[in-house]
Amino acid sequence: MATELKAKYPTAPLKCWAKVKELRQKYYQDYALAHEKGGIRWSGGAANLEPVPAGLGRDVYMLTGEPYGASIAYDRAFAAKCHAAAEQAGYPRDLCAYMRNYWGSKLLKTYAFGGPFPEPDFYWQFHLCCSHGKWYQEAARIEGKGRPVFITDVVVGPYFKRNERTGHFYADPNKNGIRYIADQVHEHIERLEKITGRTYQDELLFEATENYFNMTSLWAEICILNQAIPAPLDEKTIFSLYVLGALNKSSKQYVDFYRELRDEVQDRVSRGIAALSTERARIMSDIQPPWGFLEIFRYIEQFGCVSVGSMYSINLQFSLDIKEDGTLRPLPTLKERGIELKSRDQCLMLLADHLASNLWGQNMQEHTLKNYIMEKIYEQWHCNGIMIHYNRGCEGLSLNVAENRLYLIEKGIPVVTYEGNMGDEREFDLAETLKRIDTFMETLGLK
Amino acid sequence: MITVGIDVGAKNVKVVILKDNDIIGKNIGLMEIDRKKSVVEAFESCLASTGITKKDIHRVIATGAGEGIVDFAHRKSSVVTCDALGIIKLQPLVRTVIDIGANETRAIKCDQTGKVLDFAVNEKCAAGSGAFVEAMARAMEVSLEEFAGLSLTSSKSIPINAQCAIFAESEVVSLVHEETDRNDICRAVHDAMAGRIAALARRVRIEKEVALIGGVARNRGMVDSLKRELEVDFILIENPEYIGAFGAAFQGAVISE
């Protein structure tokens, strides 16, 4: 039971809210209807090299597996059917929950957004997570029509190193590793031309790449605006906004939306408009939430506590740069870096570099960078505590979470953990989790 | 000032009445299907034993898994907070508390004021809680006291599955069929459970002094196994199941209006 709190700040609904919902719905519809317009459909991992297929034409539509799996998770009844279908087909419960949701949807031949599952013309996945490396290979096997599967190996070693003198991390890219990724993509483009019968258009690749970097940078700007007190956005809302970056970072429409959103959030900060009128404490979270139970982020609000972001929502687009003093800032856009796109190779090298800089990729090799970034977010977003999800549904991103927790605890940061699953409601206990959060709120002096 | 702490656990409800920070009454009752009735009965019985009336009570603080059903409580507080406050009041040098209840096990790290610095609670499995030992005692057809006693006479270590109460029970049945000595089976159960609890406790980085509380702290076989596993000497309290309720009552006395 929380103390009755008085409103300290004005609050207002987000003007962009309806638009982001509309864009998301349109994304899934456009993908489903692509063939009716003579377009191309492809499916693969989010945070992929989506500007690359964009070079095949303006009628290329994609279905990224992770947000699709999360959408299924949000609909617990459909998710249960997908789990059952995947398990009947012999896939074990401990595999990635997004992947099982996606496979289940294919096996049921049912699209979460209505109608039959729209099969893609090809798959493209990057090999970062061990489960995800097999995701689309298995998806193609389920369909049984021999769809092409493109796989890009991106494991080229840690991108960031710690400066032993200052303790801060800095980028130290492995040039040969980046060339290795880019060369694979060159080969993929040649194969794409053969498979689709289309001529690859570099101008479209350049345009999509500009959008990609603009979008990642804009998202970082939006997240950094949430450092303000009161926070203009809460985490549950952020989850609905960040998703566009997981759907397609090469979309001009999404760039325009993020620009509009950035301006609106900036305006909220200037006018002191809060996401939570009673804000008196702030927390951050870690990786994916249990998507079917996002009410946990509303639950904390009765204590005057707002979740201002997470490692996941802030970093999924790999859009932060670390300044020499450890301050996190938006990754500069190509224009800000003075880069003009002139060749396919230059473009692919930039995209490969960005993919190699993926924080989550480094975390699968060593966890100290994630410790550091979590600590920096905690400090720079003015948090009072951290909520960590021991997510049984993601073997990739949950790697090292216990190490992260220990590091943060040793730094004197209050941390609570709860066990669950991002996409499988059977592994989440709402009552127990709320009880644990309740205790955490009490230890933060909020009850 | 008279304050009451009511700790509504999964199996028992514990009531402590404090007068000027001294315990003047305590009572324990079984939680039955009508949980509210069980709480009221335990509370009223405790009042009756002290001669205190409801009008005399300054504040009632509810805690525990069923704190929500104590609708006459002035305030609700988590059992983690209450455990820490309660133990510090009784044993000021304690910095780590392990509370093993019927349904839940908690490890709590606190400072000298009773402020919780870190805590961990067992996940969704009964294999690290008191209900598990009771189930194993039933499987062995002995009382809980006998079960604990048998365990203490064993010097043999038999590993059994500590990950799941159901699998563990089937392993115990197999050991019975293999005619393994009963005392060794009892110890194996405690050792398995101690392994789980120790892993939980290590998550908060154990710091001395360490207190063991909750109903299971009465089980000397369990204490012995846990002591071996963690290699620490525990501070044991006379009435270990009452610490949460005591902490709640104490909180009622110290919180500001």
CATH for B83: 3.30.420.40
Once rounded to an integer, what is the mean pLDDT over residues A166-182?
Answer: 95
Residue length of chain B: 257
Q: Which amino acid, residue A380?
A: Q
Q: Where are the beta strands (DSSP E) in chain B?
A: 2-8, 12-19, 22-30, 59-63, 75-76, 96-100, 105-110, 116-121, 210-213, 234-236
| Ranges under pLDDT 50 in chain B | 257
Question: Using a CB-CB distance cutoff of 8 angstroms, which residues of chain A are in contact with residue B65?
Answer: 435
B204 lies in the same domain as B163:
yes
pLDDT(A132) > 90? no
Examine the domain organization and report whether B171 and B252 are in the same domain. no
Tell me the average pLDDT across A415-432. Answer: 92
- B48: domain range? 1-90+239-257
Same domain, B83 and B100: no
Report which of residues B158 and A281 the model is more confident about: A281
Residues 6+ apart with CB under 8 A from A90: none
Closest chain B residue to the Cα of A433, Cα to Cα? B123
Q: Using the beta-carbon criterion (under 8 Å), do A429 and B124 form an inter-chain contact?
A: yes
Q: How far apart are CA A407 and CA A217, in angstroms?
A: 29
**Same domain for B46 and B144?**
no
Give the one of A432, A436, A442 whose C-beta lies nearest to B81's C-beta: A442
Sign of CA dihedral A351, A353, A359, A363: positive
Residue B162 and residue B71 share a domain: no
Query: Residue A406 and residue B174: Cα distance in Å, rounded?
Result: 39
- What's the gap in Å between the CA of A299 and the closest CA on chain B? 16
Length of chain A in terms of residues written: 447
Q: Could you tell me if B101 and B15 lie in one domain? A: no
| Residue B96 dihedral angles phi and psi, to the nearest 5° | -130, 135
Residue type, A144: G
pLDDT digits (tens, 9 = 90+) for A219-240: 999 999 999 999 999 999 999 9
B189 with B70, same domain? no
pLDDT computed for residue B71 by the predictor: 94
Residue A426 contacts B, CB cutoff 8 Å: no
Count: domains in chain B: 2
Beta bridge partners of A74: none
Rounded to whole angstroms, the maximal C-alpha distance in chain B is 62
Extended beta strands in A218-372, E state:
281-285, 305-310, 320-322, 328-330
At B175, phi and psi to the nearest 5? -65, -40
Bridge partners (DSSP) listed for residue A310: A285
Give the whole-number percent of chain A exceeding pLDDT 70. 99
Nearest partner of A331 among A317, A316, A318, A321, judged by Cα:
A321
Whether residues B232 and B106 share a domain: the answer is: yes
Q: Is the pLDDT of residue A372 over 90?
A: yes
- The domain limits of chain A are 17-443
Q: Which of chain A's residues have a Cβ under 8 Å away from the Cβ of B84?
A: none
8 A C-beta contact, residue B126 and residue B216: no
First to last CA, chain A: 7
Give phi and psi for A366, each to the nearest 5.
-160, 150
Residue with tokens 């079984």: B30
| ipTM attached to this prediction | 0.79
Q: State which residue of chain B sits closest to A441, comparing Cα positions.
A: B78
The answer to whether the CB atoms of A442 and B121 lie below 8 A apart is no
Residues B58 and B168 in one domain: no
> Number of CB pairs < 8 Å for A and B?
37
Give the per-residue pLDDT at B257.
Answer: 47
Q: In this predicted structure, what is the pLDDT of residue A54?
A: 97
Residue B124: closest CA among chain A residues belongs to which residue? A429
B209 and B243 part of one domain: no
Residue bearing the bigger pLDDT, B129 or A375: A375
Burial of A165 (0-12, 13-18, 19+ CB in 10 A): exposed
What does the pLDDT read at residue A436?
A: 92
Q: What's the confidence (pLDDT) of residue A3?
A: 61
What integer pLDDT is reported at residue B127 of this predicted model? 61
Facing B80 at nearest CB: one of A402, A414, A439: A439
Ranges assigned E (strand) in A114-186: 122-127, 149-153, 160-162, 169-171
Asked if residue B166 and residue B86 are part of one domain, the reply reads: no
Omega cis (within 30) before A230: yes
Q: Which of B201, B125, B213 is nearest to B169 (CA)?
A: B125
Q: Which residue has the tokens 């980046």?
A: A178
For Cα atoms A62, A65, A69, give the angle at the middle one, nearest 5 degrees: 130
Residues B80 and B107 in one domain: no
With contacts defined as CB-CB under 8 Å, which chain B residues touch A442?
A: 77-78, 80-81, 116
